[in-house]
Amino acid sequence: MNYDIIEKLKKEIEGFKDDPRFEEVGSVVEAGDGIAKISGLRKALSQELLLIETHVGEVSAVAFNLEENFIGTVILGDASAVRVGDRVKRSGRVLSIRIGNEVIGRVVSPLGAPLDAKGVLFERIDRAEEYMLERKAPSVVERESVKTPLHTGVKSIDAMIPIGRGQRELIIGDRQTGKTAIAIDTILNQKQEKGKERPICIYVAIGQKDSKIAKIVKVFEEAGALEHTVVVSASASSSASLQYLAPYAGCAIGEYFMDQGRDALVIYDDLSKHADAYRELSLLLRRPPGREAYPGDIFYLHSRLLERAAKLNRENGGGSLTALPIIETKLGDVAAYIPTNVISITDGQIYLESSLFYQGIRPAINVGLSVSRVGSSAQTKAMKKVAGRLRLELAQFRELQAFVQFASDLDEATKKRIDRGALLTEILKQRDREPIFFEQAVVVLYSALNGYIDDIPLEKAKRFEAHLVDYLEKRYRAEILDEIQKTGDLSEHVEARLKEVIGEAKGIFS
Amino acid sequence: MKYAPELYAEAFTRALNESAAHVSRDALVARLLAVIEKNGDNARKGKILNAVRRAFIKKRGGREISIETARDQHIDLGRYFKKEDEIETRVNPDLIAGLRITVDGERELDTSLHRKLSRMFQ
Residues of B in contact with A13 (CB under 8 A): 120
Please enumerate in sequence order all residues whose Cβ is within 8 A of that of A147, keeping only pairs 6 or more positions apart, or say none. A164, A311, A377, A378
Residue A27: closest C-alpha in chain B:
B105
Residues of A in contact with B103 (CB under 8 A): 22
Query: Which among B103, B109, B120 has CB closest to A21?
Result: B109
Whole-number percent of chain B with pLDDT over 70: 98
Distance from CA of A330 to the nearest CA of B (A): 38
Beta bridge partners, A205, equal A233, A269
Residues of B in contact with A21 (CB under 8 A): 109
Interchain proximity A21–B119, CB inside 8 Å: no
Please enumerate in sequence order all residues whose Cβ is within 8 A of that of A394, keeping only pairs 6 or more positions apart, or say none. A160, A367, A421, A424, A425
Q: What is the DSSP secondary-structure string of A77-124?
A: S-GGG--TT-EEEEEEEE-EEEE-GGGTT-EE-TTS-B-SSS--S-SS
> pLDDT tens digits for A283-297?
999 999 999 999 999
Interchain proximity B106–A21, CB inside 8 Å: no
Interchain proximity A41–B106, CB inside 8 Å: yes
Residue A69: closest C-alpha in chain B:
B6
Helix A337-345 × helix A271-284 angle, to 10°: 120
Name the pLDDT band for B1 (thresholds 50, 70, 90): low
Distance from CA of A233 to the nearest CA of B (A): 27
| Secondary structure of chain B as H, E, C letters | CCCCHHHHHHHHHHHHHHCCCCCCHHHHHHHHHHHHHHCCCHHHHHHHHHHHHHHHHHHCCCCEEEEEECCCCCCCCHHHCCCCCEEEEEECHHHCCCEEEEECCCEEEECCHHHHHHHHCC
Predicted local confidence at residue A72, as pLDDT = 95
- Phi and psi, residue A415, nearest 5°: -60, -40
Beta bridge partners, A143, equal A312
> pLDDT tens digits for A218-274?
999 999 999 999 999 999 999 999 999 999 999 999 999 999 999 999 999 999 999
Name the pLDDT band for A6 (thresholds 50, 70, 90): confident
Mutate to test the interface with A, among B106, B107, B119 (most CBs of A within 10 A): B106
Interface predicted TM-score of the whole assembly (ipTM), two decimals: 0.76
Cis amide linkage into residue A295, ω under 30° from 0: no
Distance from CA of B103 to the nearest CA of A (A): 9
Residue B101: closest C-alpha in chain A:
A22
Predicted local confidence at residue A409, as pLDDT = 74
Residues of B in contact with A12 (CB under 8 A): 120
Q: Single out the catalytic residue among A287, A373, A389, A433.
A: A373
Q: Is residue B6 within 8 angstroms of chain A, CB to CB?
A: yes
Using an 8 Å Cβ cutoff, are A302 and A271 in contact? yes
Interface of A with B (CB under 8 A): 12-13, 16, 18, 20-27, 29, 39-42, 69, 87
Interchain proximity A22–B103, CB inside 8 Å: yes
Interchain proximity B120–A23, CB inside 8 Å: no
Mean pLDDT for the stretch of residues B89-113: 90
> pLDDT tens digits for B42-79?
888 888 888 888 888 888 889 989 899 988 877 777 78
Predicted local confidence at residue A410, as pLDDT = 76
Mutate to test the interface with B, among A10, A24, A25, A29 (most CBs of B within 10 A): A25
Predicted local confidence at residue A372, as pLDDT = 93
Using an 8 Å Cβ cutoff, are A478 and A494 in contact? no
Mutate to test the interface with B, among A13, A18, A54, A90 (most CBs of B within 10 A): A18
- Among the residue ranges A35-49, A130-144, A188-202, the one predicted with the least confidence is A188-202
Q: Is A373 a catalytic residue?
A: yes
A 10 A CB-CB count for B94 gives: 11
Integer Cα distance of B104 and B96 in angstroms? 23
- Among the residue ranges A65-79, A85-99, A447-461, B3-17, the one predicted with the least confidence is B3-17
CB-defined contacts A:B, below 8 A: 40
Interchain proximity B107–A25, CB inside 8 Å: yes
Please enumerate in sequence order all residues whose Cβ is within 8 A of that of A13, keeping only pairs 6 or more positions apart, or say none. B120
More confident residue, A443 or A2: A443
Residue B112: closest C-alpha in chain A:
A20
Query: Which among A16, A20, A27 has CB closest to B105?
Result: A27
Residues of B in contact with A42 (CB under 8 A): 106
Name the pLDDT band for A381 (thresholds 50, 70, 90): very high
Whole-number percent of chain A with pLDDT over 70: 99
Mean pLDDT for the stretch of residues B87-108: 89
> pLDDT tens digits for A43-61?
999 889 999 999 888 899 9
Residues of B in contact with A29 (CB under 8 A): 47
Integer Cα distance of A352 and A247 in angstroms? 22
Please enumerate in sequence order all residues whose Cβ is within 8 A of that of A355, keeping only pairs 6 or more positions apart, or say none. A364
Interchain proximity A25–B116, CB inside 8 Å: no
Please provide the average confidence, as pLDDT, over all residues in chain A.
Answer: 92
Query: Which among B47, B106, B120 has CB closest to A24?
Result: B106
Query: Which among B6, B107, B116 has CB closest to A24?
Result: B107
Residues of B in contact with A87 (CB under 8 A): 108
Residue A70: closest C-alpha in chain B:
B4
Choose among A83, A109, A111: nearest CA to A96: A111
Name the pLDDT band for A110 (thresholds 50, 70, 90): very high
Choose among A182, A186, A234, A244: nearest CA to A208: A234
Report the predicted TM-score, pTM, of the whole model to 2 decimal places: 0.89
Residue B7: closest C-alpha in chain A:
A69
Residue B120: closest C-alpha in chain A:
A16
Amino acid at site A99: I
